[in-house]
Amino acid sequence: MCKTKPVSTWNCDKELIVLEKDTTNPVLGQLTLWNTLKRRNANCLNFNQDGDLLCAGTDGRHIIVWNWAKNRTLTNYRPDIKGKISQIKFIDSAGSLDIVSASYDGQMLGTIVPPSGGAPMSSHCLYTHSGCVADFEIVPRSRHEILSAGDYGIVKFFDLRSSSAATTDANSYDKPDITSAVYNHSGNELLACYRRTGNCLFDSRNYTDGDFFHYYRKHYGDFNGKYFWDKNTEEILCENMDEKAKTAICLKPHPWKPMLATAALIKPGIHIWIPNGPIL
């Protein structure tokens, strides 16, 4: 964690072209609450690829799909699980809304919803972990492949096109406590968030044990709000301490608009944040 910080080479035009989510200080400073979609506690959120829908997994073990702009619920479904929903994601598909979700009782669920909404066409367990599923990722540029991380450091791989059981890809029991992990748009970088230390950006294709690109440390020992770091210099660019941003348990960027969706513990609801001005 003691690497020398590089000189900033951030370029706005270049980053927008490659769909990076960085932005300039003035825009970050004007981030404001646009709408609260639902007075409900959510553990996880995800936009679909087109960005017009948002799915959520709630404390009440419900899977909900919203048209966020119209604030209209398309689906509100409670699957047959015993634990809360820990993570949820849309799968890119045509003709239906395909959703994969993970639960605290170790189940990985596949749910198919009609594009117009309503009751699911099907919902079933894809495979299981022993204990809670902390997080999972759709492999970039391979929308049928899933990597999921469960208790005891177990990482499993599953191909949605196959009827075979999931395979154990890795056992990282000796690694620190990771709360979430996400790929960048091309899949060559992986950001891991650690419960007690901070965030690390890794080379996902040529990983060397103990090595990382960047380390983004916690601000004064906690994350009581939303923070934005410069990717290269690792400096905090902006922090948002709005009451609805405090104790955020989930934050998801829109796939192409300058907006964020968050869910928080202190102020229930799913909140949409945008820079000042209209959404184009």
Cα 71–73–265 angle (5° rounding)? 75
Which residues, other chains included, contact 52 with Cβ-Cβ below 8 Å and sequence gap of 6+?
A: 67, 68, 69
Query: How far is it, in rounded angstroms, from Cα 83 to Cα 277?
Result: 40
User: Which residues of the chain are modeled with pLDDT < 50?
Assistant: 10-27, 278-280
- What pLDDT was estimated at residue 53? 93
Quick: pLDDT tens for 212-247: 899 888 655 555 566 778 888 888 777 765 555 556
Question: What 3 state SS string does the chain have?
Answer: CCCCCCCCCCCHHHHHHCCCCCCCHHHHHCEEEEEECCCCCEEEEEECCCCCEEEEEECCCCEEEEECCCCEEEEEECCCCCCCEEEEEEECCCCCEEEEEEECCCEEEEEEECCCCCCCCEEEEEEECCCCEEEEEECCCCCCEEEEEEHHHEEEEEECCCCCCCEEEEECCCCCCEEEEEECCCCCEEEEEECCCEEEEEECCCCCCCCCCEEEECECCECCCEEEECCCCCCEEEEECCCCCCCEEEEEECCCCCCEEEEECCCCCEEEEEECCCCC
Q: What is residue 3's predicted lDDT score, i.e. its pLDDT?
A: 61
Contact 216, 5 (CB under 8 A): no
Q: From the options 2.60.40.10, 2.30.30.90, 1.10.10.10, 2.130.10.10, give the CATH code of 23-175+218-266.
A: 2.130.10.10
pLDDT at 96: 87
Phi, psi at residue 153, to the nearest 5°?
75, 20
- Domain borders along the chain are 23-175+218-266
Look up tokens 């890795």; give the residue.
170
**According to the model, what pLDDT value does residue 147 have?**
87
